[in-house]
Amino acid sequence: MTRRRSIARLVAAILVAGAVCWIGGFLWFLQVTRRPAAPAPPHVDGIVALTGGGGRVELALHLLASGRADKLLLSGIGGGTELATLGHLAGIGTTDLQDRITLGRYAASTRGNGVETAAWAEQNSIHTLIVVTAAYHMPRALAELQQALPDVRLYPMPVHPGGTENGLGLRLEAEEYTKYLLTASGLSAWFPSREPVSASGTLSSAGG
């Protein structure tokens, strides 16, 4: 009985310590995702927008139109979505930009974004890259991209969606923090991929 109690106490202590570490890390995560990012250089080789949330494509198109980069990858674009539609929603004419924009239709996850961006960066000799995604998603996005593009300098430019101060926002951020831990620890690589084997055939210039 004494041995069982000792084991139970040990397990309880481990669980409590794990919970304390998780909470401490989550507080750090909230601080990181809320503070302003360091400014990116006036001009870089490329921009990647990890699509899937409001404001990401719009910001990326505005950055490209203002001359902040030579090329843009919209990673994870749905199969039926066209550039003209995205430009219309962003209020930007894309006719003069389409030869500099790539629609990535491979990625269905953040890990897929990394694979897709790495293939595009290699094809376009990208060495400096602005990363556009939601603020709460940025730590995990950077972790995936750093693993996929170790020789590319990344500059985060987060989008701050509304509504992150309520309970739903905190729950979303808690889920995202847990996913970030899996990515940073390398455990996410053991999960089944949601994408096909190769990204090379799904990168297409918006200009044709």
* pLDDT tens by residue, 45-58: 999 999 988 899 99
Mean pLDDT of all residues in 65-78:
94
Q: Is residue 138 in a domain?
A: yes
Write the CA distances from 22 to 26, 27, 140, integer angstroms. 6, 9, 16
Between 90 and 105, the more confident residue is 105
CATH of the domain at 145: 3.40.50
Mean pLDDT of all residues in 91-106:
91
Q: What is the pLDDT of residue 187?
A: 80
Mean pLDDT (the chain, rounded): 86
Range of the domain at 200: 36-205
Q: Is residue 63 in a domain?
A: yes
Q: Is residue 26 in a domain?
A: no
> Highest-confidence range of 67-71, 182-186, 199-203, 204-208, by mean pLDDT?
67-71
Q: Among 98-102, 139-143, 150-154, 198-202, name the one with the lowest average pLDDT.
A: 198-202
Q: Is residue 9 in a domain?
A: no
Alpha carbon distance 112, 127 (integer Å): 20
Q: Are 71 and 101 in contact (CB under 8 A)?
A: yes
Q: How many domains does the chain divide into?
A: 1
Q: Transcribe 14-54 into DSSP letters.
A: HHHHHHHHHHHHHHHHHHHHHSPPPPPPS-EEEEEEE-SST
Mean pLDDT of all residues in 85-98:
88
Q: Is residue 19 in a domain?
A: no
Q: Is residue 97 in a domain?
A: yes
Q: What is the pLDDT of residue 164?
A: 44
Q: Is residue 58 in a domain?
A: yes
Q: Is residue 192 in a domain?
A: yes
Mean pLDDT of all residues in 20-35:
83
Between 203 and 164, the more confident residue is 203
Q: Among 9-13, 150-154, 165-169, 186-190, name the one with the lowest average pLDDT.
A: 165-169
User: pTM (2 decimals)?
Assistant: 0.84
